[in-house]
Structure 1
Amino acid sequence: MHTTQTCYGTRPSTGLDIAAPEEAWKLGTQLLMHVMRARRVPATGVSCGDSPCAECLAPHLARVVTAVARREPVSFVLPAFPGKSPNPSKVLGPMPDMAEQRSLEFLATLCERIQREYAPGARVILCSDGRVFNDIVGIRDVDITGYQHELSAMMARISTSSLATFNLDQVFEGLSFESMRERLMLEYGESLEALRNAVRAGGEPHRLYCGITRFLVEDATRPDGTASRSALQRECRRRAYEVIRRSQAWGRLLEAHFPQSVRLSIHPQTCGSEKLGIHMMETADSWLTPWHGVAVDMGGRFVLLKRIEAEALGARVVAREGRASHYELTGAS
């Protein structure tokens, strides 16, 4: 990608470029930095984690500046909030809980920070991808439906206009869930062989493949399991390819629907990636997400952990509205 260097960062030459004044580039950079402060990067291999460089900003800045120059809200697309992990050692149950609530509140607060500096503000479109691959990861369609409904109710309780939802049900309305997935792959899918070649070449595709495989193994490792560890790993490696294929197809669909939005991700992203990884909750694990963990109140400060980790620390379950919500660790600071 050709770029033009300015005192406010790098101007990528993309189809989104417009004749934006220097003030728009300066303000756009300031707004994007709010997101950069919460970015999710790999545990190793990124030297500019605390101080994003021009290469980090380049894939996203033109979209922000375009919105600023047009005095429109800055739009972010986040494929996330798919559905809770089916592994009871990681989560409290199939419905959204305090982990999702705190994450939604973070995103709403992020938009509020942007609006303080830029009146049109920002919006985050939560593109729930649970229906895309739930049959592969072992989550029932009925649980995906329940999760999506409760997530919408949670957003209504937060009373924010900066968050919106988008899912496969809206794209292929009226089709069966299986037909929705088939249509997605028919229209936007990549061949399995092309993905295998990309993973073999190493780099980002291989890192993503390893991360997804690890998640699948964790979700499938349960006390009532009968498969050997090696057999489980083989099966999860096979399924990881299909999860990635469908996730990429979903990403292409989102690009077609939201071409001017900044693309966020819940996976760690390297410097210069077309996706911007973002943490919505404090966690020591660069891969852990609210739907693979639980919120733990550490004395007024919520931290994301796996359920088994929270219980190992001696944390107790806190219920809200008749359902387990989060954990509380007495005496933590």
Structure 2
Amino acid sequence: MNNPSFDISVNILNEILKVHRRDIQSDKSDMHSHELELIRSVQIPRIQHFVEAGKPIEFVLPAFPAKSPNPGKVIGRLPDLAERLSLQSLDKLCADIQRFYTPGAHLTICSDGRVFGDVIGVDDNDISQYQAVIGRLIAQKHADHLRLYNLEDCTRFNAPSRDFDTLRQLMIDNHADSLFAIKSTLMKSDEGVALYRAISRFMFEDGLTPDYSGSRTALQRKAKLMAVEVIQRSWAWGDLLAKEFPHAIRLSIHPQAPSSLKIGIHMMPTHDCWITPWHGVAVETGGRVVLMSRKNAQLCGARLVMQDGQPSHYVMAASQVDELTPAIVQWQGAHA
């Protein structure tokens, strides 16, 4: 039997899957049919909820927290070309859906910078400045499908919106499990262990700044502890968002299992399935723009481009990447 709402929902999911972020260990060929069917079984009924009601598709994406504190990864504290292109990509996803589904779609960027800024060593003032620029970019680019949502926008907490420490504690008290319970849950599955290791690596890399004077071993121990706390905060934020946006299609900037309610997406090309605009720089090469760490861009001989007096991105010839790949691998191995 012909089911127009089902067909439209399939087409909407197909648009999302065009930017699907899969684990770097996954098969590089086309998605396996069983994986696709599992994603469809989870997501199509959720999408169909909006289609049958004739309402815009509602997306939620925890993202755009603040720039990494490690200058080896990024070129500044404020959004640059990496964020600009990523915002355009998200707005385009919604616009592409509207081409065949008239109610269209809108996407709420739920910044998690405020959620764990104190853990990762990013000041609330830096987070506020970063968010202000993201808001201006959305307005300047007329990205009408996008809006911002921060911890201070949550009205369920009876606390001053600028008392960030209190807001964080209220979120933990009301939406988080204990650190011990989080660590136990992570260790029970391959996906959990992979997440724990990936976030630990992020914490280690972010802490390996030029002014760090301690040992690598001590930093690794600290990174593992911080990783559990970051995941605790992230999951608490996810639980809060599930209550604030109960029917929204949950997108993620990390790879997700096919059975997950979340769908991992890319916002721009990258060779690393975990790198993000706020953990890397935009590099224009060979007619396209990709994400990589600032250190790798510099190893490849990339040239820094300024825009409006601010560092924006790097430019290099495509051949430079191939020529200096051994140097990148050597540096990455030394910092693993």
- Confirm or deny a common fold (TM above 0.5): yes
Which position in structure 2 is the counterpart of 1:145? 128
1:78 to 61, 66, 69: 61
Q: Counterparts of 1:47 and 1:109 in 2: how far apart (Å)?
A: 25
Preserved CA contact (<8 Å) 2:138 2:144:
no
Which position in structure 2 is the counterpart of 1:50? 31
Deviates more, 1:41-50 or 1:129-138: 41-50
TM-score between both structures, scaled by the size of structure 1? 0.90
1:266 to 239, 253, 257: 253
In structure 2, do the counterparts of structure 1 residues 244 and 314 end up closer, same or farther at CA, with 3 Å as the change threshold?
Answer: same
Unaligned stretches of 5+ residues in structure 1:
1-6, 8-20
Aligned length: 314
Preserved CA contact (<8 Å) 1:46 1:270:
no
Which position in structure 2 is the counterpart of 1:213? 200
Deviates more, 1:195-204 or 1:281-290: 195-204
Q: Counterparts of 1:22 and 1:268 in 2: how far apart (Å)?
A: 31
SS of the residue 1:41 aligns to: coil
Q: Percent identity?
A: 41
Preserved CA contact (<8 Å) 1:319 1:325:
yes
1:111 aligns with 2:94: yes
Which position in structure 2 is the counterpart of 1:18? none
Q: Counterparts of 1:181 and 1:264 in 2: how far apart (Å)?
A: 22
TM-score between both structures, scaled by the size of structure 2? 0.90
Deviates more, 1:270-279 or 1:52-61: 52-61
Which position in structure 2 is the counterpart of 1:229? 216
1:33 aligns with 2:25: no
Which position in structure 2 is the counterpart of 1:293? 280
Which position in structure 2 is the counterpart of 1:324? 311
Preserved CA contact (<8 Å) 1:131 1:168:
yes
Query: 1:332 Cα deviation (Å)?
Result: 5.9
Unaligned stretches of 5+ residues in structure 2:
321-336
C-alpha offsets along residues 260-301 of structure 1, whole Å, 9 cap, x if unaligned?
A: 111111111122222110000100100000000000111431
C-alpha offsets along residues 144-178 of structure 1, whole Å, 9 cap, x if unaligned?
A: 00000000001111102100111101115535111
Q: Which runs of 4+ in 1 moved over 3 A?
A: 45-52, 330-333
Counterpart amino acid of 1:60? Q
Counterpart amino acid of 2:306? A
C-alpha offsets along residues 208-249 of structure 1, whole Å, 9 cap, x if unaligned?
A: 111100100011112221111111100010011000000000
Query: 1:205 Cα deviation (Å)?
Result: 1.6
Query: 1:58 Cα deviation (Å)?
Result: 2.3
C-alpha offsets along residues 185-224 of structure 1, whole Å, 9 cap, x if unaligned?
A: 0110111221121122132221111110010001111222
Q: Counterparts of 2:299 and 2:209 in 1: how far apart (Å)?
A: 17
SS of the residue 2:235 aligns to: helix
1:307 aligns with 2:294: yes
